[in-house]
């Protein structure tokens, strides 16, 4: 297998192709799809060695010689991407610099292959990088901007401003800036903070087409229950209300109790909601038993003792040893659910492509994905959603689908 070092790293006219053990190399004119690449721009490639180094917390090799780089910055500013370092540096210095970069890249890939989480991370990254640009209704956007006075919401709305063809910028997600892997947006339309009432500014590229929101049904509590080794019905909260409380608690009361039990939310609000219907402390204790939190905490404590960290179900490392125990639980569930959602939506997109549906993924909003669907393929998309998503050892997870806007 080969790894490619982009020509901008060296300032050469060709890319350097190296075997992943660093034993053989050659200069080539192009970089194929779906190969490992080390470059100056980590967002250019799905299999970016630069991003893997961030994931593994490995210091990347130096991208330039400090003394020469300082001199060029004095002359050219910060844009020194195309400096022909082969001619700037002595042959000996250039050769050693190349070897250091190749060695650092190969070492990082070797470490990555030993990581259980590796391919899960790449699968999620592939989904996020291959999203399509969204069509935006400029008429609705301008109306919302006129009506909105909150400066934060206005800034969010402005991030959706379309180009002359009616498309918003490409969203660029970050999977590494939060401890659990929960997504943030680096650039592009800030859909993660867009109030729901404004989502219908996102339109369809197809005449009569629909923008559909596909959600995992109660993803995080479902993950928590499956991890404990037990099946669960389509509606987790209704199942808990039925099985544990014999329908004495409403779905909303049960949902709040689950938040208290799994995420350490104060029981005061639950106590006020329940009034004299049930004892809040007892309700929370029963829900913890339902989800098997004691056994999960025991397993996590064992991992921390042995390794100094915890792994989520997919192998992502969670450094929670200095956090309180309810944080252990919430981080484990949220992190596992985040990976499950990305894997699930990636597989849904693969099924859409396999069935040759005219449906484009445009945004991921945590446990939901927005899809732009051709009107003639909307029914077929709905059938795929009804099938749910097979998440391997966790089983088939149900999905729901709603229309958030429709082209006129």
Report the alpha-carbon distance of residue 381 to residue 358 in Å, rounded.
9
122 domain-assigned: no
> What Cα–Cα distance (Å) separates residue 194 from each residue in 134, 146, 269?
14, 16, 27
Instruction: Identify the CA nearest to 370 among candidates 130, 121, 185, 202.
Output: 202
Contact 180, 335 (CB under 8 A): yes
Q: Which residues pair with 399 in a beta bridge?
A: 216
DSSP characters over 375-402? GGGHHHHHHHHHH-EE-GGG-EEPEEEE
> What Cα–Cα distance (Å) separates residue 208 from each residue in 54, 265, 403?
43, 44, 12
Using DSSP's 3-state secondary structure scheme, residue 160 falls into coil
Using DSSP's 3-state secondary structure scheme, residue 216 falls into strand
pLDDT-derived band at 65, boundaries 50, 70, 90: low
pLDDT-derived band at 266, boundaries 50, 70, 90: confident
pLDDT-derived band at 71, boundaries 50, 70, 90: low
Mean pLDDT of 47-66: 85
127 domain-assigned: no
CA dihedral 122, 125, 129, 132 (to 10 degrees): 110
Q: What percent of the chain is modeled with pLDDT above 90?
A: 62
> Strands, E, within 277-353: which ranges?
310-311, 317-318
pLDDT at 21 > cutoff 80 = no
Same domain for 107 and 158: no
Same domain for 200 and 341: yes
Same domain for 347 and 322: no
Same domain for 164 and 299: no
27 domain-assigned: yes
Which of 113-117, 276-280, 366-370, 403-407 has the least mean pLDDT?
Answer: 276-280
Report the alpha-carbon distance of residue 191 to residue 160 in Å, rounded.
8
Same domain for 340 and 213: yes
| 75/239: higher pLDDT | 239
Q: DSSP secondary-structure letter at 235?
A: S
φ, ψ of residue 180 in degrees (nearest 5): -95, -5
pLDDT at 200 > cutoff 90 = yes
Helix (H) or strand (E) segment spanning residue 369? strand 368-373
pLDDT at 64 > cutoff 80 = no
Mean pLDDT of 15-21: 86
Supply the pLDDT for residue 197.
95
Same domain for 242 and 214: no
Question: Angle at Cα 397 formed by Cα 393 and Cα 402, nearest 5°?
Answer: 160
Mean pLDDT, rounded, of the chain = 89
**Last residue of some domain: 295, 328, 361?**
328
Q: Which residue has the tokens 């470059």?
A: 39
Q: Residues 182-191: pLDDT tens digits? A: 999 999 999 9
119 domain-assigned: no
Helix (H) or strand (E) segment spanning residue 362? strand 359-365
Report the alpha-carbon distance of residue 55 to residue 52 in Å, rounded.
5
Q: Which domain holds residue 155?
A: 134-218+336-406
Instruction: State how many domains the chain has.
Output: 3
Q: Which residue has the tokens 């490992």?
A: 36
Helix axes 280-291, 267-274, angle to 10 degrees: 120
| 406/276: higher pLDDT | 406
Mean pLDDT of 269-291: 86
Same domain for 289 and 196: no
pLDDT-derived band at 22, boundaries 50, 70, 90: low
pLDDT-derived band at 142, boundaries 50, 70, 90: very high
**Last residue of some domain: 114, 144, 174?**
114
pLDDT at 72 > cutoff 70 = no
**Last residue of some domain: 84, 114, 144?**
114
210 domain-assigned: yes
Q: Which residues pair with 27 in a beta bridge?
A: 16
Same domain for 228 and 213: no
Q: Which residue has the tokens 């492509």?
A: 353
| 233/177: higher pLDDT | 177
pLDDT at 229 > cutoff 90 = no
Same domain for 299 and 281: yes
pLDDT at 211 > cutoff 90 = yes
pLDDT-derived band at 69, boundaries 50, 70, 90: low
Report the alpha-carbon distance of residue 229 to residue 299 in Å, rounded.
14
Q: Residues 96-138: pLDDT tens digits? A: 888 888 999 999 999 999 999 999 999 999 999 999 999 999 9
Contact 374, 358 (CB under 8 A): yes
Which of 133-142, 322-331, 386-395 has the least mean pLDDT?
Answer: 322-331
Same domain for 142 and 273: no
pLDDT at 80 > cutoff 60 = no
270 domain-assigned: yes
* Domain harbouring 174, CATH code: 3.30.70.370
Q: Residues 290-300: pLDDT tens digits? A: 999 999 999 99
Same domain for 94 and 18: yes
């Amino acid at each position: 297998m080969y790894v490619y070092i982009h020509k901008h790293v060296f300032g050469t006219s060709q890319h350097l192709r190296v075997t992943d053990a660093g034993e053989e190399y050659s200069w080539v004119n192009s970089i194929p799809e779906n190969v490992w690449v080390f470059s100056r721009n980590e967002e250019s490639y799905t299999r970016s060695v630069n991003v893997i180094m961030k994931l593994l917390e490995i210091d990347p090799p130096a991208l330039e010689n400090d003394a020469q780089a300082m001199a060029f910055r004095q002359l050219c500013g910060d844009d020194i991407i195309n400096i022909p370092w082969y001619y700037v540096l002595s042959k000996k210095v250039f050769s050693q610099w190349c070897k250091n970069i190749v060695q650092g890249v190969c070492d990082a890939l070797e470490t990555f292959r030993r990581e259980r989480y590796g391919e899960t991370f790449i699968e999620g990254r592939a989904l996020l990088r291959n999203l399509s640009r969204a069509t935006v209704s400029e008429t609705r956007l301008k109306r919302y901007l006129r009506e909105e006075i909150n400066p934060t919401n206005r800034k969010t709305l402005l991030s959706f401003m379309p180009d002359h063809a009616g498309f918003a910028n490409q969203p660029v997600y970050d999977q590494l800036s939060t401890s659990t892997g929960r997504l943030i947006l680096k650039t592009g339309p800030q859909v993660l903070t867009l109030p729901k009432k404004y989502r219908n500014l996102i339109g369809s590229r197809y005449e009569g087409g629909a923008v559909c929101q596909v959600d995992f049904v109660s993803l995080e509590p479902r993950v928590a229950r499956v991890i404990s080794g037990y099946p669960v019905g389509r509606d987790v909260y209704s199942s808990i209300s039925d099985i544990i409380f014999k329908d004495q608690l409403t779905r909303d009361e049960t949902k709040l109790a689950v938040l208290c039990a799994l995420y350490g939310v104060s029981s005061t609000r639950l106590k006020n909601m329940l009034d004299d219907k049930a004892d809040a402390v007892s309700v929370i204790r029963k829900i913890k038993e339902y989800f098997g939190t004691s056994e999960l905490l025991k397993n996590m404590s064992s991992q921390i003792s042995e390794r100094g960290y915890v792994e989520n179900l997919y192998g992502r490392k969670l450094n929670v040893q200095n956090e309180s125990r309810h944080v252990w639980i919430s981080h484990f569930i949220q992190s596992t659910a985040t990976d499950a959602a990305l894997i699930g939506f990636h597989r849904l997109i693969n099924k859409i492509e396999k069935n040759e549906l005219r449906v484009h993924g445009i945004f991921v909003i945590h446990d939901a994905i927005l899809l732009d669907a051709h009107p003639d393929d909307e029914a077929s998309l709905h059938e795929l959603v009804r099938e749910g998503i097979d998440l391997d050892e966790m089983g088939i997870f149900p999905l729901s689908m709603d229309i958030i806007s429709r082209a006129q």
